Chain A
């Protein structure tokens, strides 16, 4: 049932796709973490317009498919004259989409830090921004890490969307191998193993972190 020659003959091709998938995931994670944290802070600031922006972004993006976000970059932008290559479109789409989920995770983390902490920091003379950055966020990080890890796993899985817009990721190369060799079953099994190589360690790390944090509480 398993045709191992697929793996040995096309190892380089798999590896190229694996590298691109990992690269796109890391870039999108960094982007979505920055944007997501910003949005989370927006949502809990006392400034109303910022709250609206944060809430609107999160509610809107969370309720539309990733594919649609990616198409906005891939088809929408060129229709008004801005052309980015498929890899960039896919990675940007992933970052914009995942940011909405990260914003929620970070917000929950911040809200879990007792209010007294913020009040104490403010009354000892720190500005809102400084109190957030130096007192609240560092405590929130601990709570945020397991859900963030989960989002990263989702991000890696979702990065397969690049294959739809020819983004040279693992899935794209798996398609190419399958249509070159006509061996579909084994080709996708091996592609799946490459994905597991990325996601399983993170999955276990999340479980481990959750158990550890639970013990400390």
Chain B
């Protein structure tokens, strides 16, 4: 490449950029396919099943019917207005891909589009990360960042094939919006600012995380103002973006009027007013004299600040602006959710992040990204302020919630890209002989190429005094380069390993390896769901814990009481209460909710730890939140405060519905010869209450490995009726007499009137 004459360098450069980005896309796509290769092309986990179901509905019934869709199969008896409570970006994206392909007569099933959507979008994310980093630093750093984001586990965890969730496309939208924003701040053009708003619109339609953008950009603007970096470019781009973005975001039915009513969005409007005021002041400054301006400035700023502050406070108290939502509070106070909203705390991905998972998800990048951050701070300009703010806020949020690791990952990739690019720039720069340069790292440092190769040749003229002690020796340099490359190699290995081991399980199909190395597939979930879909009434109502709501709706196509869209806490609490009450009490609740089947997940036979008994305390807690008189968490613990299911467990626990449904007839089952009957492999104890029968329910189906157990709720005439006290057993004749006479027929009637057989008079002979 170096030998090429300079007129070709532009072509070579774009070829290399194109090739690297293409390879990054391919690598990213390929490394997300572990689940498809090991299992099959299938939708994973919980939320994706809802997204898939909604997409399939949209493809079948059309977009407008989808927006008006009232799903009576969820949240029985309430139902759910799906069109108005969903971010439709994901469905629209895959729906339009499906539409275009079918226009071209390519009959790909919508499921396959859904499965492969996230891996395809990861390529787009890599490209937009490249563009963003290129704007922030240079092409080399951009290519590094693109390669990093393509394989970094923190992002792969949300975008493997089959993980059909909002985040899959939202990270692309996020990065692209940021790229366009940086571009518009750089150019100050209305065109780029409008594109930013459009991209923001896509982000709003795709994920609730758009709040991050609408707070980060105003933060950037305010910081630039504080730093005295006000410019007309900033003014143009922010005002255009803010207004267009506001209007666009309100077009999404689920968002509606939130952008002007909730506190989460107020920062954008505040920054908008601020930049207008400052713009106005700058203008006045150019007209007024210095003394006049000073007076004017003080008065205006005081009045403006006061008005805005009181305005917001008054509107908040008046209820026009909603206060911060609970999920948002839990971002500031990590203990908030645990106390106030157990349902948020019960989700494992809402837990604070551990140090371990930072390294697990980011590996070497977690150590190099501060370097990039330092470079950005050192060589600060308008757009680097942005990336610094992005990094700092994302680090904070990622520390609060595991789930928000996702927003940190892209910025870590960007900054690490900058760090590695700088590093290689320094250590590859003073290369003496151009031929032994590392072809690997060369492409990344390509922008600095012209700086050293020609000058190097010129300097050859000084051969009388070469080997001056300038910079590092060739040995040290190559040592470091090899070290860096080795680190990158380890990073790639780690990423592949994590992806393959931790993030590529569909979680509805489990697999185990037996001792001879053969693989066994435990397909119990689908077994049970398919049984439900084939062998129950199509309007049967299935009660289960909310985790399985989407899967039941998606795979079994049956009505559920609660699901993963946890919008109604009291309904969930009612289900929790039924699960944690005794059988007769639970029957009352189930009867009032018209439950036909109850589904529980039980891992005791195969040692599956994510089963309902292990989640049970959350059910109790959520139920207690709504029904503190009936359910008390302390009842379910032993005196020592332990949660145990063996003989020493608390009697309330051993007699509640969840326990009974999980362990029905398990006490008779002896798993192997070494362990006694009723030995629970998940909790490694022999269960406490073995011999019991069910009165109000009967086993309808249990899967092969007992993982899913479905019970039918008996109708009232099917079980032994409750004992009626003797005094009430006598049937009293009703004393209300109803005459059967009508106006036309006044004749009396005799009950059981004897039939008169009329004889014949004997004929006289």
Do A and B come together as binding partners?
Answer: no
